[in-house]
Structures are given as structure tokens and as C-alpha cells.
Chains A and B, each alone.
Chain A
Amino acid sequence: MTELPDIWSYLSSEPLAWLTATLVAYLIGDWCAQTTGRGPLANPVLIAVILLGTVLVLTDTPYQTYFEGAQFVHFMLGPVTVALAVPLYQNRALVRKSFFPMAGALLAGSLTAILSALFIAKAMGVSGAELISLAPKSTTAPIAIGIAENMGGLPTLTAVLVILTGIIGAITVTPIMNAMRITDWRARGFAVGVAAHGIGTARAFHVNQTAGTFAGIGMGLNALLTAVITPYILTNILGGTP
């Protein structure tokens, strides 16, 4: 019979265990979200991250070891970003019909997200690579990580900030929009897609189909806009040495 430590050393050196753990943790998170009627706090990503993070810390497993398994899931972000062109194309009539509100809300929402984050963080003493890592946090992970890498930020910190932003947006969008008495599902969805990317979009789809569609468009357009304007903002507005 194989000794328990041998089994553990096999499991901890192969990608299989952590890949499986990632999918199972997500299923648990999704199950929690479903059984609580998709309440905003029961966010599947948040639950999965807390579960996996706790297991890694308790078993003293380095993140690099975990990522060797989880990278197969992470890798899919690239092709899935390309796939975003399909809903964008399918909704082209909708995009054309709401062109002005969307163009304005995209520019206003995207600039607000980047500039307010940079100024608040700078005022609270954040600087250097951490500030650069923060700038693209409202756009979807693969794009934000690409921007951070190009501009001298910390890609893994950017990934964490992006996901926290998505979770904050997904949890708070419903109470905020209700408090502002905004009933137009297009506006609610589009705003959360611009401010809180894929996690906000996933939340919008659970609340309302129209909101989800507009969130997806907002996320896709903001991916393009953030990629173009963030390098400009970082080098010009913050004077090159944030």
C-alpha cells in the first residue's frame, strides 16, 4: 500500500489536483449563489477564491504550484476575449440604436474609473508600480494584465485588483442603481459592464437579460478603450513617474 505522504507528494507535484480543485471550488461557489437566490453577496468567484486561498495557505502550497494546474483555466481568458466579438456583432442593431448613450457612458464611465482610482490611491500614499497596477482595474483581466505588463506594473497584483473590482461592482450595483431609482436596464447593465467587466456582466445576466447584453457590450468596448487610453493617462496625466 502506498503511504499517505507519497500520495500527497504525487498530488502536489501534478497539475491535476489543483485544476480539479479550481473547478470544484467554482461549482461550490455557484451552488451557494443558486441556493441563496443569487443574492449579490454570494458571488461564485469570491467564494471560490476564498475557498482555494484558504486551502493553499493551510497546506502551505505556493501559488506557483497551484497555478501550474489552474493555468489551463486561466489560459482560456485569451480565446474567450476573442469570442466577445460574437455578442458584439449579434447586438450590432442594438449598439447602433443606443449609439450616443453608449459612447458617452463608455467614455465617462471609463475615465471616471481610471482617474478616480489613481487620484484616490495617490492621495492615500500609493505610488510606483502599485499605482500603475491599479490603473486598468475596471477592464477585463487579460487586457488589464497586458496593460500592466507593458507599463511596468505588477501583473499578478493587477489580476487581484481587477477581480476585487469585479466583485465590488457585482455586489453593489443592484443597491446603488435602486437607490438612484434607475430603472432603464440598458443603463444599469452598460454601467456595470464598463465599471466591473466580466464579473459585473455575469451578475447583470443573472438579474436581467437586457442588462446582461448591454453589460457585455460595455465590457467589450471598455476593453478596447482602456487598452488605448491607459498608457496615455499614465505617461501624460501622471507625468510619467506616478
Chain B
Amino acid sequence: MIAHVALLLALQLVGEVITRALGLPIPGPVLGMALLLALLFARPTLVDQIAPTTSELLKHLSLLFVPAGVGIITHLDRLAESGLGLIAALILSTWAALIVGAWTFIGLAKLSGSKP
């Protein structure tokens, strides 16, 4: 368990160092994710060892968004000012993305004969 968390942290650290050193626009943890994916393809036996730890962590994914979400209290006056535009953009664009994404998936699944 500790070894697996250490591996995740180490890959995130390598990701942070590389993105900063090369000035890449992608965030460090994303590069860390790509590195772990490459590592799993290189050492397939690793996945069964690490999966219990990662699935336990991913089970509580929603909890991790709470501290950032509470940050809304620092933006209450900003939201009162330009909140209508921001909220309208959030709601309409999320609906548009849901509909366009699902339709594209269904359409291409039919075209390529991919069944559920």
C-alpha cells in the first residue's frame, strides 16, 4: 500500500519536474498518468499489485473535490457580478457537450459496427 502510494507520488513528481523543466503546457499529474500507463504496458504484472490501492483511492474521488468547491465562498461577489454569464455558460455548454458527445458516440458506433 505505502509502496504503491509512493510510486504514484514519485510519478507525479517526475511529471511535475519534466513539465516545469521543459515548459510544457500540460499539468504534472497528467504526465504522471501517461508515465504510469507506459509503465503498465512495459510491466503488465504491476497492474494486479497496484490495482487494489488505486481502486480504493478512486472510490473516494468525489471527496477530493470538496475543499476546492468550498472556495466558492471567496468568489461570491464575483459570481453576483458576472455570475449570470458564467452560470449560463456552464449549464448550456455542459448540456451541449453531453448531447454532442453521446450522439457522436452512437453515430460512430453504428458506422463502425461497434456493439455494446
Chain A: residues with CB nearer than 8 A to chain B?
22-23, 25-26, 44-45, 48-49, 52-53, 56-57, 63, 66-67, 70-71, 73-74, 76-90, 97-98, 100-102, 104-106, 108-110, 112-114, 116-118, 120-121, 123-126, 130, 134, 137-138, 141-143, 145-147, 150, 156-157, 159-166, 168-169, 172-173, 176-177, 180, 182, 184-188, 190-192, 194-196, 198-199, 201-202, 210, 216, 218, 220, 223-224, 227-228, 231
- Known A-B contacts: A86-B40, A120-B89, A198-B65. Give 7 more (CB < 8 A): A56-B73, A71-B67, A105-B108, A142-B27, A191-B102, A194-B101, A202-B61
A87's nearest neighbour on chain B, judged by CB, is: B58
Question: A227 with B101: in contact, given A124-B89, A165-B94, A168-B94 (CB under 8 Å)?
Answer: no
- Name the prevailing secondary structure of the B interface residues: helix
Question: What A residues does B85 contact at CB under 8 A?
Answer: 120-121, 123-126
Question: What A residues does B78 contact at CB under 8 A?
Answer: 130, 157
A89 to B41, CA, bound (A): 8
Question: What B residues does A67 contact at CB under 8 A?
Answer: 67, 71
Tell whether, in the assembled complex, residue A231 and residue B86 are in contact, meaning their CB atoms are under 8 Å apart: no
Question: What A residues does B25 contact at CB under 8 A?
Answer: 147, 150, 227-228, 231
A214 to B2, CA, bound (A): 29
Closest chain-A Cβ to B15's Cβ sits at a distance in Å of 7
B92, B93, B94 interface centre (most CB from chain A within 10 Å): B94
> Range of interface residues on chain B?
35 or more
Tell whether, in the assembled complex, residue B93 and residue A76 are in contact, meaning their CB atoms are under 8 Å apart: no
Tell whether, in the assembled complex, residue B116 and residue A143 are in contact, meaning their CB atoms are under 8 Å apart: no
Closest chain-B Cβ to A28's Cβ sits at a distance in Å of 11
Tell whether, in the assembled complex, residue B68 and residue A160 are in contact, meaning their CB atoms are under 8 Å apart: yes
Q: Which of A78, A165, A224 lies in contact with B34, CB distance below 8 A?
A: A224
Closest chain-B Cβ to A170's Cβ sits at a distance in Å of 9
Closest chain-B Cβ to A139's Cβ sits at a distance in Å of 9
Closest chain-B Cβ to A169's Cβ sits at a distance in Å of 5
B9, B35, B57 interface centre (most CB from chain A within 10 Å): B57
Q: Which of A124, A163, A188, A223 lies in contact with B68, CB distance below 8 A?
A: A163
A156 to B26, CA, bound (A): 18
A–B Cβ pairs within 8 angstroms, 30 of them:
A22-B66, A26-B62, A44-B62, A71-B67, A73-B63, A73-B67, A76-B64, A77-B65, A78-B32, A84-B33, A87-B54, A88-B33, A89-B40, A89-B41, A104-B107, A104-B108, A106-B101, A112-B100, A138-B97, A164-B87, A165-B90, A168-B90, A184-B105, A185-B116, A186-B116, A191-B98, A198-B65, A223-B30, A224-B33, A231-B25
